[in-house]
Structure 1
């Protein structure tokens, strides 16, 4: 009985000693929540009044946000609110000063939360900045090309957008400590595929505008180029997986043979049309 009373006494003493820290942590959390809410709403109103949201809504990313039901001012205000609340959570965990394995886990989570929010913030604000920069440069380079070659300017703008988005993703993943040997090839593969699609669309349109005789085979050319960039991108994505690269290499050889066979009738048709046009001209 004496031992039980001693244990209960020690538990009660531990709880009493921990009460000030628990109350302080709760107060910090409550203050953090209310301050975060107030500052978040203030930032929301500021973004709305400055006019950034109207300009953003006209961009490609802005239209995507709007179609998804997202609002830039609410998003930025929510991020600011979340940042302040996370800071209050980190401070509350430090005040509690919990020991043992559970305390170590809590400290690890508290240390990682700012990195997680920072990575999300980099992705969101980075995407907004990249979209603005790509559109700005696209408008600058468009006068450098003839009016009927606007697709080349769009192609260059899209390539810049894809490259910068890849950089933003890598920076965000590094911040969140999620980068590694698997992530880099994955991003590289998708960049190759995206850039290949943009290049193919721009080049095929430019060629068909100048040479009408190629319109009939433009679909075949697009398909072949899409497939080539898809194979290259897949090779980059699975480069770290043993055995997969050999499979992709075999597929590439088979595709190259099929491409060569398909080119024979296409080349014959184009040559035949060109001869007919020359005969008509004579």
Structure 2
């Protein structure tokens, strides 16, 4: 009976010592949620007023809005920062380190998004100008230039999030080689009859 009483006393003491940390963690979570929500709304309003969605997508219906995307990223950066502080208050170092890694990833993610968005804007502008020029095969040239600029933007952005760009370079080489082989076969088949006729005339 005495041992059971001692166990209860120890549990009570531990809970009483832990309670201030728990309350502190809950307060941090509440403050983080409030600040994150406010920052997210501010970022969304700034991007919306800059009219980046209209500038990039114009008459096209986008899969997502940049204002929403940046709002989510900045909001969650604040949330994670305060969640990390809450876990640190509770004395859970493993989760603190995991959240530190996520926070370290966010600046690179933002940089990568900005690079890809800028690349998309340039690609759209170049495509429009080439199509307006009415040069021979303008639509084909415009599409090739569009995807080439997008590729350069993506290849430039990938290292920002810790991905080696050599993978996408390899994919591009395979695609170009496949396209070249397909064109060569198509041209060869198309010229087969012409070559046969020329040979027949020459050796006739």
| TM-score of the aligned structures, taking structure 1 as reference length | 0.58
For the structure 1 residues 54 and 7, does the alpha-carbon distance in structure 2 shift closer, same or farther, using more than 3 Å as the test? same
Q: Which has the higher contact order (CA 8 A, sep 6+)?
A: 2
For the structure 1 residues 223 and 44, does the alpha-carbon distance in structure 2 shift closer, same or farther, using more than 3 Å as the test? same
Maintained 8 Å contact 1:37/1:81: yes
Match of 1:108 among 92, 97, 121: 97
For the structure 1 residues 184 and 17, does the alpha-carbon distance in structure 2 shift closer, same or farther, using more than 3 Å as the test? same
Is 1:24 the equivalent of 2:18?
A: no
Match of 2:202 in 1: none
Unaligned stretches of 5+ residues in structure 1: 201-221, 229-258, 276-282
Please give the per-residue CA displacement for 1:101-131, whole angstroms capped at 9, x wherever unaligned.
xx34312322222134345434433321221
Match of 1:2 in 2: 2
Match of 2:119 in 1: 130
Aligned-pair Cα RMSD in Å: 3.5
| Structure 1 residue 138, shift from structure 2 partner | 5.5
| TM-score of the aligned structures, taking structure 2 as reference length | 0.76
Unaligned stretches of 5+ residues in structure 2: 200-204
Maintained 8 Å contact 2:113/2:157: no
Is 1:71 the equivalent of 2:65?
A: yes
| Structure 1 residue 272, shift from structure 2 partner | 5.7
Alignment of 1:84-163 (within 5 A): 84-96=78-90, 98=91, 103-136=92-125, 142=130, 147-150=135-138, 151-152=140-141, 154-163=143-152
Could you tell me how far apart the structure 1 residues matched to 2:192 and 2:127 are?
39
Maintained 8 Å contact 2:53/2:66: yes
Match of 1:269 in 2: 193
Could you tell me how far apart the structure 1 residues matched to 2:11 and 2:190 are?
86
Q: How many residues align?
A: 197
| Structure 1 residue 16, shift from structure 2 partner | 1.1
Please give the per-residue CA displacement for 1:134-184, whole angstroms capped at 9, x wherever unaligned.
3456668x49x8722534354234213212202312321x1xxxx5xxx66
Could you tell me how far apart the structure 2 residues matched to 1:20 and 1:273 are?
94
Please give the per-residue CA displacement for 1:216-237, whole angstroms capped at 9, x wherever unaligned.
xxxxxx7724xx9xxxxxxxxx
